[in-house]
Amino acid sequence: MPKPTADLLHGTLDALVLKTLSWGPRHGYAVARWIEDVTGDDLRIEEGSLYPALYRMERRGWISAEWGMSELGRKAKLYRLTPQGRAQLKVETSQWSQFAAAVSKVLLPA
């Protein structure tokens, strides 16, 4: 298996992050860790993708940020889902399901 995900992440990162935050506020680093843990490292979230994505979503009002402390007592920026973000998550989740189903229809038949 050469390069696992390649470009596939395109367009799904937002949904992944929103979903992660739907379990409760987290800082960026923890979001990446969580996603990697849940997927057994099948999904790697690069920091160079993560932070721009967080700003983007904050700008769009999907998440809000405030400085606080991590579980380990370090300075960390905590992100929290806004109501708009929750709505967006719903939209993107259903889009993903629809898209994945459509791709499977093409790709999976023997």
Partner DNA sequence: GCGGATGCCTTGACAGGCTAGGTAATCCGC
Partner DNA sequence: GCGGATTACCTAGCCTGTCAAGGCATCCGC
Q: Distance (Å, rounded) from C-alpha 44 to C-alpha 28?
A: 14
**Is 50 near a second copy (CB under 8 A)?**
no
With 0-12 CB in 10 A as exposed, 13-18 as middle and 19+ as buried, what is 91? Answer: exposed
Binder of DNA out of 1, 2, 10, 109 (CB under 7 A):
10
Query: Candidates 36-44, 51-59, 62-70, 72-80 — which segment interacts with a second copy by CB under 8 A?
Result: 36-44
Strands in 26-27's sheet, in edge-to-edge order, are 26-27, 75-81, 63-69
Looking up tokens 């259903």 gives: 94
Binder of DNA out of 24, 73, 83, 109 (CB under 7 A):
73
With 0-12 CB in 10 A as exposed, 13-18 as middle and 19+ as buried, what is 63? Answer: buried
**Is 81 near a second copy (CB under 8 A)?**
no
**Count of residues touching DNA (by CB under 7 A):** 32
Query: Candidates 46-54, 56-64, 70-78, 102-110 — which segment interacts with a second copy by CB under 8 A?
Result: 102-110
- Enumerate binding residues for a second copy (CB under 8 A): 1-2, 4-12, 15-16, 19-20, 35, 38-40, 42-43, 91, 93-96, 98-108
